[in-house]
Amino acid sequence: MSDNDIDPRTPVVVGVGQFAERLEDPGYQRLSAVDLAANAARAALADTGADPAAVAAAIDTVGGIRQFEISTPGAPAPLGKSDNYPRSVANRVGAAPARAILDVAGGQGPQHLVTEFAATIAAGDSQVALAFGSEAISTVQHLAKAEDKPDFTEHAEGSLEDRGFGLKGLMSRHQAMHGLTDAPSQYALFDNARRARLKLSREDYATAMGELFAPFTKVAAANPYAAAPVERSAEELVTPTETNRMIADPYPRYIVARDKVNQGAAVLVMSIAAAERLGVPREKWVFLHGHADLRERTLMERADLSASPASVMASRHALELAGIDAAELSTLDLYSCFPAPVFNICDGLGLKADDSRGLTLTGGLPFFGGAGNNYSMHAIAETVQRMRAEPGTFGFVGANGGLMSKYSVGVYSTTPAEWRADDSAALQREIDSWPAPEEALQADGWAAIETYTVKHSRGGKRTGVVIGRLEADDRRFVAMTQDGDEEILAHLSTGEPIGTRVFVRSFGFGNRVTTSEARMDELFPPRPKVLRENYEHVLVRRDGHLLEITINRPDVRNSLHPQANEELDEIFDAYFADPGLWVAILTGAGDKAFSAGNDLGYSASGKPVWVPKNGFAGLTSRRDLPKPVIAAVNGFAMGGGCEIALACHLVVADATAKFALSEVKVGLVAGAGGLVRLPRTVPAKVATDMILTGRRLGAEEAQSYGLVNRVTEAGKALEGARALAAEILDGSPTSVRVSLQVMAETQGIADTVDAVTHPSSALEDLMLSEDMVEGITAFAQKRRPVWHNR
């Protein structure tokens, strides 16, 4: 096919550019991320061989790849940042695009954006589009505390299509609770699983990783844009030393992506018609022959943790669309943040680690540099240059995002080819239909290790992370080792742990794994279900069969942090286990607040935050409350405080009480039961109003909706609760307990007759109880019954 036979809307890559600076370079300029990208964009404009100013003026669309400092909520930007990165870069190069895009996070972004721009141009909705990205992490870290640090803050006028972080399925609060917060520890899970699948020893697999990456260092050493241009041997790469310390088993530092870079890259795509109009020489044109974008299942949904079949499917589909196979490729650049994603594509396409063509054009992320989400923009730039130098050959770019989660592929060549749409959507539907293991968020019992890693901190602390399967039902779980448990760390650090038997137990702060049940009991001695003399954050008072529990944190409006929650959980365990205690009252110290809920000040401190397995205050997630709990609400019951009150059987409020689910006001939701219990307690419209606006209900209004049982005068909530408790204590504790059980058992039965006829063992227990006999006898004898609670 000649150029003249092609649809003039066919997209072609016509310009690529790169720019980098290192701290130690002569003439180091301390450039911002915007300036780095602008320099790369200028290089791309010049690379077209046409008038750069005319080309810049023709740009109608720009797309920026997110820097790390704008890739996650709350990420710091110590030197400031642009509020419209794409337009800041466009302004630098003299472009005034109608459309500016800030793409989602992930290393797949550069290839995905180039593919998207090509498709948009082919559809006639764009003529000239510029994609770019950059990172100034090295400069930011170097100058963050300098007295003369630069200010990279800037404002750019114009619209912005901000696509958000795009982190859904890539980050999990549950996984973060178990140490999976950093890329090395998560990718290590894949490489260890692959090693076990191949039945390789630790030593042999380390050798394989070193041999995979040693050629990458040679390429990086010759690359003028590389952040670490040092050639290293395979042995040097994987031998732990003081400078090559272990990060996460099996990774020492040298084979981990290097994010301390100052790099930018840009790719210019336009229609053939625009290229001809602007005078871009035909020898500059590079066509996108094949492309695909696929997303893997989330980490815990993957059937096999040793591979990413979605990435391989994307690679094969792009090659199929290009009409070639892997053997016909002249160049390859496989995203190489760690060995796992490179091995994965090699395994899937039948490539050898020592392929004579090489597996990188840049030197790879650990050596060239892991330029945030933008690495593959550099790979595309290198590929385009190679395609021009070797006309008619084909180059492959594999761009990986997340945890081998998102994979975008491009196959490039100077050979003319019209645009062809891919069939990624159908393949994605197939991937999404794959069966997934069931996950146990709270894991308890014997299990087998599926994969693992051991994380190494700079200070020498080691923490193990295990993904395993429960013996009882084969559900998958993630768990951590407990600090100081050298026994399990030794097990994970020698021989082959995968497939071996371990013991896991769940706690409010997460799942913990060790070598045996006995060892677990040593690490976490069973807590006796008895009341202590004193608690740090809670007061308890026993008055006959009544237990009064007071949250004693009035200086923070009785808000709860993990330690207070743990004490309340312990107290309620003791209350429900003590046959001599029949009714409990929960209140707050002082007259200002019952509880303001979660202690946000503590949460913002950066300290670990968790709640017990039984939920907030040891109540909101407790499946069984077999004895009455009365909330005595004095003042504010806000957020989690309202959720605690909702979890109690009865609520007595004084006239000053205010109830609200105020979480939306601080960017949270009422996740401790409020979203479920409130609509089941008050009218749906009222609940929705409270949940979406944080609206406060006074005591009398709350009573009118059924949220409150009784209202007292100001300051008398506890007295009112005591009076209510006395009425309950006047009845049979056995009858009270049985009544609560039957109500709980039938709550989910919609049909009234079915609920009435529901067989309950509690009724059988009542028929055999001493209290039933005593109650009937006392009635007949016209005396007060003496309850036995048995």
The type of residue at 394 is F
Would you give the DSSP letter of residue 310?
H
* Residue 83 backbone dihedrals phi, psi, to 5 degrees: -90, -5
Instruction: Tell me, yes or no, if 643 is annotated catalytic.
Output: yes
Give the E-state strand segments of 359-444 in sequence order: 395-401, 406-413
* Residue 586 backbone dihedrals phi, psi, to 5 degrees: -115, 130
Q: Name all contacts of 771-778 with Cβ < 8 Å and 24+ positions apart.
A: 771/732, 771/733, 771/734, 771/735, 772/732, 772/734, 772/735, 774/732, 775/732, 775/735
The answer to whether the peptide bond before residue 528 is cis (omega within 30 degrees of 0) is no
* Helix or strand run (H / E) with residue 718: helix 717-729
The runs of H, that is alpha helices, within 269-349 are: 272-278, 309-322, 339-349
Which pairing describes strands 395-401 and 406-413: parallel, antiparallel, or unpaired? antiparallel
The type of residue at 385 is Q
- The answer to whether residues 785 and 732 touch, using CB atoms and an 8 Å cutoff, is yes
* Residue 501 backbone dihedrals phi, psi, to 5 degrees: -90, 135
Other C-beta atoms within 10 Å of 234: how many?
A: 18
Dist. CA 98–CA 57, nearest whole Å: 11
Query: Tokens standing for 673?
Result: 């039961």
Other C-beta atoms within 10 Å of 447: how many?
A: 27
Q: Which of 116, 154, 643, 701 is catalytic?
A: 643
C-alpha distances (whole Å) from 126 to each of 59, 268, 622 are 9, 12, 57
The type of residue at 594 is F
Dist. CA 293–CA 331, nearest whole Å: 20
Dist. CA 630–CA 54, nearest whole Å: 76
Positive or negative: CA dihedral 218, 222, 225, 229: positive
Q: Which of 663, 713, 745, 770 is catalytic?
A: 663
Dist. CA 209–CA 342, nearest whole Å: 10
> What are 659's strand-pairing partners?
637, 697
Q: Which active-site residues does the annotation give?
A: 643, 663
